[in-house]
Amino acid sequence: MIGKGLVDRYLTNEKYLLFLGLFIISIAFLPYLLSGENIYVPIWDNLDSNIVWAKMVLAQGGPFLPLDATIDQIMDGLPLSSLCPAYDISYLWFKLFGMFWGYVFGKYVVALLAYFGMYFLLKKYILSKDAPVYIPIVTAVFFALLPFWSFSAHVAGLPMTILAFLNIRKGDLSIKNWLILVVYAFYSSLVLIGFFLLLYMSFLWLWDVIKRRENSRYLFFAIAFLSVMYIVSHLPLFYSFIADNSYVSHREEFYTYGATIKYQIKFYAKSIIYAGNYTIQMHVVTLDKYIKLLLIFAIILIIKFKVKNKILFGIILYIIFSYILCIIYGSNQFAGIRNVLNDILPIDLSRVLWLFQLCWYILLAISLYYIHTLVRWGKYVCIVFIVVQSVVLFNSQQYNTGKSMPSYKKFYAEQQFEDIKEYIGRTPDSYRIINIGLHPAIAQYNGFYTVDGFSASYPLTYKHKFKKIIEKELAKTYQEDSFFNDWGSWCYAFLSEMNSADLNRYRSKYPVIQHLEYDYDQLKEMGGEYIISAAEINTDINNRLELLKVFDGYETSHWTVYLYKVI
């Protein structure tokens, strides 16, 4: 009895559980401290882009550069907005702690924002006052342990931001709520998530106006305030659209063909079955397989006991609507309309799914509440679920998902590329290189100036110039030709003997390249003097290339690198 009383006392002690939750989150970050740069960090849309973009901007004195500044390392120099569309708080962590530890510290800060934001949102606005104290805390821990994409607070900061909006809506105009909105504007992307948040808050404000809710103007002021803060935080982006009329992005040639309705249904069915792992190319992983089972059980109880919960059914309707929208939006029947919409508003409407992480974990909290309170043995179901979901979340930590992938250190291979730089023996800004079988981000991270690169927006004229280099190789394969011409954000040295998909398999060995039909004169005209290749190139056939040296056998590198000079 004493033991049971002691357990019950701790399980109902809010401060104890909050500290325990904080401790669990900290434990999840312990492998970063133990392994350092030898740990796996997601590469796709992360190491191959976001981190190196930040490094290049910082290397040039950013992020607070003149709005018309050019980042010189990539291509023939890109506008600041191409790599730094917003003044993200994460730049501060990179400046203070360096690239790797700044990334880790930023991820930890994001997890804490998710934890406390979700806890206070659930406690104040979602759950009933009689909800067991462990439910909002456990849910907040689970939400904080989600593998959020990259290093900003796009999704993780939503609960705290929505909490601030709802507080202001109620008339709480204290400075902390306005500060939360300021922080979120500088810690999230307007394009990825901010647009949708402002849209949904505007719908809520319109609802208040229709219902003649008292003080509806407060919510309007909050929406206007966050909008202004986004303009300030995204000055480079707005400058590129408004002030620089001469800039034409390669996105002007974007064309997506879509897929059949049947394919779209199958795709999103997989997203449902495999717990969100197929959603938005791994950017938004919800890990909700068991949450769905719990939700079904909770809905059965709600129907049986005739309980009404507008929030629960509102979120379910939003999820259903979002899937329907994405199926239609991504289908080839609507390809023409979609491409016209993209020209008018350069925002991918399928990003409505970015709110799913928030939605599913609010549904989790509500489900736990009803199961715990409506059936006598419900708390035991909740305990079993908590144990199972804890295992799922810890196994799904990003460092556990890439065991066969190169670590942070081996991906960027700093010692190897420093040796390449020393072998060339020239200052990196006096020549440019092009990469084959390697993401240009690797060379850029190590200070090289590259002809190729990855950017969400770069000059269309540069795309056309670069295409001349690889045009004959593109003509040999429809897949690479379409990939470059209809998308083109990877301005890479594509070739027919190496599939672009291989870049995301991170192979360390490739077959010898026999026929490389590049326009070497065009490459040299664009400043390209050297080729850094992950594959050997047959120089007997490709006589415009001279093999200078092979760099291999590095314990701190995943790659074998062949250095060629363009003759």
Number of H helices, E strands in the chain: 25, 8
Lowest mean pLDDT, pick from 6-20, 72-86, 200-214: 6-20
pLDDT digits (tens, 9 = 90+) for 91-118: 999 999 999 999 999 999 999 999 999 9
E strands in 73-128: 78-79
Average pLDDT score over residue span 523-551: 97
Average pLDDT score over residue span 51-78: 95
Distance separating alpha carbons of residues 172 and 165, to the nearest angstrom: 9
What pLDDT shows up at residue 276? 53
What pLDDT shows up at residue 344? 66
Mean pLDDT of the chain: 93
**pTM here?**
0.95
Average pLDDT score over residue span 143-171: 97
What pLDDT shows up at residue 273? 76
Determine what percent of the chain is predicted with pLDDT higher than 90: 80
- Evaluate if residue 343 carries a pLDDT over 80: no
**Residue 413 falls in which region: left (phi positive, over 0), alpha (psi -120 to 50) or beta:** left
pLDDT digits (tens, 9 = 90+) for 245-287: 778 899 889 877 667 888 888 888 877 777 654 444 468 899 9
pLDDT digits (tens, 9 = 90+) for 28-44: 999 999 999 999 999 99
Domain ranges of the chain: 1-38+85-247, 257-402, 408-566
Give the three-state DSSP class for 268: helix
Q: Is 262 exposed, middle or buried (0-12, 13-18, 19+ CB in 10 A)?
A: exposed
Cβ-based neighbours of 516, under 8 Å, separated by 6 or more: 436, 473, 495, 497, 537, 542, 545
